[in-house]
Structure 1
Amino acid sequence: MRRLITAAGAAAAVAGCVAGLLLLGPDTSRPSATTAPAGASSEGAGSVDTTRERTETHPDDPTAWADLAHAEIERARTTLDAGLLDRADTALRRSVALDGTDNYRAVTGRGLLANARHDFGEGRLHGLRATRMAPDRPDGYAVLADAEIQLGNYPQARHAVQRMLDLAPATAAYSRAAYDLETGGRPEDAAIALQRAVDSAVTQDERAFAEARLGDLAWSRGEIDRAARHYGRALDAVPAHPYGQAGLARVAAARGHPDKALELYTRLVERMPLPQFLLESLDLRRASGDSHRGSERAVLAAQLRMARADDGPVDPHLILYAADHGDPEVAVELARREWKHVRSVIVADALAWSLHRAGRDTEALTYARRAAATGWKNALFRYHRGTIEQSLALPEGARRLSEAHALNPYLSLYRPDAEG
């Protein structure tokens, strides 16, 4: 099984794998990742401490152990602490040892865990098994949808999300529906779905997640005042919410306050040095002419070395860092490795850009077209594709670059070469 290399993997996979990639799009990773907590139904809800007490009181109850695993995975999503996934694994093994036949909670838990570790093929198998076991329960479809998205099976993911909406129209389903709508080129409908996710949230974590995603959606369309309101609400729900803080940093930069933005990024990466936040800070420093880029670069370079030495999943932000600030050949190496396991449009775009930076534009265009296959109105995707097309002397390149700037006029804050 491929193991996590950063806590970002936990956040991305458990949250529908769309976390992050705010210039590319949502999550997710926050597919990111992209988006809503898998398995965030009311079944077995409760804090880690409460569910652990149940296992101590009822040590032979397989459901109690499975519920503990779900709670650990949910806490990993909200804290970005990947170490919690090992605890979840232990709890699931105990649950399966007690009941290895008709244990729906353990099956969905194993699916959530597999997705969190970026083993999406395994996650898909558990999702399919869960939906066969209980076709009228939503959690199996959440697992299945998250896995299908990352495997690039978007029609199958859409079907799973629709079943969730039919069975349990709540935050988890609406957030996944929003991601499907956004990647399908329907941002207005995605915003409606996310507002429903906010309205149906039963925890502050759910509310913060959906508000931050609304902020991401507004930012991606250049609506910085609307984005600021949603990021602020995310922080009202969960103080120090990382994606709310990163969002406000972007807004500060867009309003002409790069020093304030960099101060926010500095505080954020001190406690949560995820590739997304580090790369955004580094790119903003470069675009604003700030020469003090050593700390972000050093941390990203260390993470890149770990990624090359590991056989685990690779954060797409790390691939883009290697392409733009390091060795493009290393970026291609890591992107190809990730593409073997994850066929999402986000990874397709990262591979396309890496190939371009390595001077292989003909092959790069193939993957840039794969990234555009769903119709996502994504400014950075279009910027990447337009640049590749211009390098190949294709007439549509200039139009594509103009479209990228029209989609998000603030793209050049992080890409000084992306001026419209």
Structure 2
Amino acid sequence: MEVMERETEHGWRSRRRSRMLIVSVAGAVVLGGVVVLLPWGGGDAPPPAPGPAALARSAVTTGVPAALGDLTVLIGDRETHLRAHPLDGASWAVLGTAYVERGRRTADTANWPKAEKALRTSLKVGAERDPQALEGMAALAVARRDFPAAKRWGESAVKAAPKRWTAHAVLIDAYTGLGDHEGVGRALDKLMDLRPDAPAVSARAAAVYRDRGWRADAEARILDAAAAAGASAERAAYLEQAGRLAFERGDRQEALRFFREALRTDPDQRAAQAGQGRVLAALGRTTDALSAYRAALAERPSPEYALELGELYESLGLGQAARVQYDLLRERVRVAGAAGGDEELVLGRFEADHGDPVSAVRRLRAEWGRQPGIAVADALGWALHRTGEHEEALEFATIATDGEQGGGVRSALYVFHRGVIEKELERYGPARRHLREALMINPYFSPLRAPQAERALAELGEPSVQDPPT
């Protein structure tokens, strides 16, 4: 099966460049090998290009990533308009959705209370079942990692406007966070029925396929989305997603190309900048990696990036610098909590490895009870292992890595966690198999954990000829 998968992925890679070179020429014909521009109909001059506010409004109301500069203009424009027209429910919905998008792009959780106020005002003064406002509330809940609320708001938006494809898109995030894999499938099927050719839909499909372990299909979908994307911010977001997929399968050079192209396309694409840090660290270019992470954190102080940078410092023996990042992580989690956010997952992961594992288990048990997604299963299993509860730990590690239970994503970290837990339980055959698999998926998956996987595998050694088959 692994050989077949590699051959399949090789086939997709051979077509990758052709996808990225798709170029469309609008309003032109070729005569005798010469491109001739056709005149615009209805006048002597083309219509004026839409301004930043119009571009951002079009993006946020259709589920497409928006440029930060355009978002700022749109927010200012709607705030000015609403001071004169406070009963304009549609404009309150647009303003709230723009706040959600700006908070998502910048990791500035101060946008979330503003977004909630604007969206609730829209529902109060406008149509009580306005699908734009309902969908905005669902997107806000996803940004806050409140997936039960995201499901409620998203399903309300679908009931209000069943043909509105963007509501089904946000439900995919909600169902994923809740570990509802059948719900994810239904939402994706509906989404693809409604807008099969939209780049944003291809990007959503890529994310779902990645979670199912269909790496070649995910790659094909996200490259199609990047090739067909209209605005720079949208294309950059899909290139960043392509970079993450490439790094997850251990292709460092390709991942670096995608992340660099994303940043060239949109310099505010900080997720791509953090991705560069991840890849550069894997390439051994630690100085460049540290610079990339610092630049990303300066503009988008995500607790996830702080954890990654802290672990990179730790792998270099720079304990004090790592502690600075861990302090930043705690502060960002506190700020997010004050704004209604749930960062228990990243805090639990941090505490399990660098803080108080008992606290991590307590936090992650509560998180699992509320929203049992695959990422929470992996984190809780690892935290239980760190407190010595290895049998229960293996139950959750199996959920995170067993495709029959929804854990189909090929994550080197998840498989590493399972292998270490099995080693502790003296299940040496499965442990050896899963540690090898982790390093086959991505030998560079973590500056701290990948070397640990190599050491654990070396300690296990080769299986004895007298051992039973695994």
TM, length-normalised to structure 2: 0.75
The equivalent position to 2:169 in structure 1, one of 142, 164, 183, is 142
Report the CA distance shift for 1:162/1:39 in structure 2 as closer, same or farther (over 3 A).
Answer: farther
Does residue 400 of structure 1 match 2:434? yes
| Distance (Å, rounded) in 2 between the aligned partners of 1:353 and 1:216 | 23
The equivalent position to 2:160 in structure 1, one of 115, 133, 154, is 133
| Distance (Å, rounded) in 2 between the aligned partners of 1:354 and 1:113 | 29
| Distance (Å, rounded) in 1 between the aligned partners of 2:432 and 2:339 | 39
Q: Is the 8 A contact 1:51 1:68 kept in 2?
A: yes
Aligned to 2:11: none
Aligned to 1:229: 257
Report the CA distance shift for 1:131/1:302 in structure 2 as closer, same or farther (over 3 A).
Answer: closer
Report the CA distance shift for 1:202/1:249 in structure 2 as closer, same or farther (over 3 A).
Answer: same
SS in 1 for 2:370: coil
The equivalent position to 1:92 in structure 2, one of 92, 105, 119, is 119
| Distance (Å, rounded) in 2 between the aligned partners of 1:62 and 1:302 | 35
| Distance (Å, rounded) in 2 between the aligned partners of 1:298 and 1:112 | 28
Report the CA distance shift for 1:310/1:354 in structure 2 as closer, same or farther (over 3 A).
Answer: farther
SS in 2 for 1:135: coil
**What is the CA distance between 1:224 and its match in structure 2?**
0.6
**What is the CA distance between 1:201 and its match in structure 2?**
2.4
| Distance (Å, rounded) in 2 between the aligned partners of 1:405 and 1:122 | 37
Does residue 163 of structure 1 match 2:197? no
Report the CA distance shift for 1:309/1:337 in structure 2 as closer, same or farther (over 3 A).
Answer: farther
The equivalent position to 2:143 in structure 1, one of 116, 128, 131, is 116
The equivalent position to 2:411 in structure 1, one of 364, 378, 392, is 378
The equivalent position to 1:257 in structure 2, one of 271, 285, 289, is 285
Q: Is the 8 A contact 1:142 1:161 kept in 2?
A: yes
Give the letter for the 2:143 counterpart: A
Report the CA distance shift for 1:89/1:239 in structure 2 as closer, same or farther (over 3 A).
Answer: same
SS in 2 for 1:350: helix
Report the CA distance shift for 1:301/1:132 in structure 2 as closer, same or farther (over 3 A).
Answer: closer
**What is the CA distance between 1:328 and its match in structure 2?**
0.8
Give the letter for the 2:283 counterpart: R
| Distance (Å, rounded) in 2 between the aligned partners of 1:370 and 1:311 | 29
**What is the CA distance between 1:100 and its match in structure 2?**
4.3
Deviations 1:124-177 (A, max 9, x none): 122222222221111221232221111110121121122122212323322221
Report the CA distance shift for 1:53/1:197 in structure 2 as closer, same or farther (over 3 A).
Answer: farther
Aligned to 2:366: 337
Q: Is the 8 A contact 2:97 2:136 kept in 1?
A: yes
Aligned to 1:191: 219
Does residue 389 of structure 1 match 2:422? yes
**What is the CA distance between 1:66 and its match in structure 2?**
1.0
Deviations 1:78-130 (A, max 9, x none): 22221112111121122112234342222212222222233322221222222
Q: Is the 8 A contact 1:287 1:412 kept in 2?
A: no
**What is the CA distance between 1:387 and its match in structure 2?**
0.6
| Distance (Å, rounded) in 2 between the aligned partners of 1:64 and 1:212 | 31
The unaligned stretches of length 5 or more in structure 2 are 1-58, 458-470
| Distance (Å, rounded) in 2 between the aligned partners of 1:68 and 1:142 | 20
The equivalent position to 1:218 in structure 2, one of 229, 246, 249, is 246
Aligned to 1:297: 326
Aligned to 2:234: 206
| Distance (Å, rounded) in 1 between the aligned partners of 2:130 and 2:235 | 30
SS in 2 for 1:295: helix
Give the letter for the 2:155 counterpart: L
**What is the CA distance between 1:53 and its match in structure 2?**
4.2
SS in 2 for 1:340: helix
Give the letter for the 2:325 counterpart: E
Report the CA distance shift for 1:114/1:237 in structure 2 as closer, same or farther (over 3 A).
Answer: same
Does residue 417 of structure 1 match 2:448? no
Does residue 82 of structure 1 match 2:82? no
SS in 2 for 1:359: coil
The equivalent position to 1:348 in structure 2, one of 377, 380, 386, is 377
Report the CA distance shift for 1:110/1:266 in structure 2 as closer, same or farther (over 3 A).
Answer: closer
SS in 2 for 1:385: helix
Report the CA distance shift for 1:305/1:91 in structure 2 as closer, same or farther (over 3 A).
Answer: closer
The structure with more radius of gyration: 2
Does residue 244 of structure 1 match 2:262? no
SS in 1 for 2:279: helix
| Distance (Å, rounded) in 1 between the aligned partners of 2:234 and 2:388 | 43
| Distance (Å, rounded) in 2 between the aligned partners of 1:161 and 1:38 | 20
**What is the CA distance between 1:211 and its match in structure 2?**
0.8
Q: Is the 8 A contact 2:242 2:255 kept in 1?
A: yes
| Distance (Å, rounded) in 2 between the aligned partners of 1:298 and 1:119 | 24
Greater RCO, CA 8 A, separation 6+: 1
Does residue 279 of structure 1 match 2:311? no
| Distance (Å, rounded) in 2 between the aligned partners of 1:257 and 1:117 | 34
**What is the CA distance between 1:194 and its match in structure 2?**
0.9
| Distance (Å, rounded) in 2 between the aligned partners of 1:40 and 1:153 | 24
TM, length-normalised to structure 1: 0.84
Number of residue pairs the alignment of both structures matches: 384
Give the letter for the 2:82 counterpart: T
Give the letter for the 1:389 counterpart: E
Report the CA distance shift for 1:41/1:331 in structure 2 as closer, same or farther (over 3 A).
Answer: closer
Aligned to 2:206: 178
Deviates more, 1:125-134 or 1:306-315: 306-315
The equivalent position to 1:323 in structure 2, one of 344, 352, 355, is 352
Q: Percent identity?
A: 35
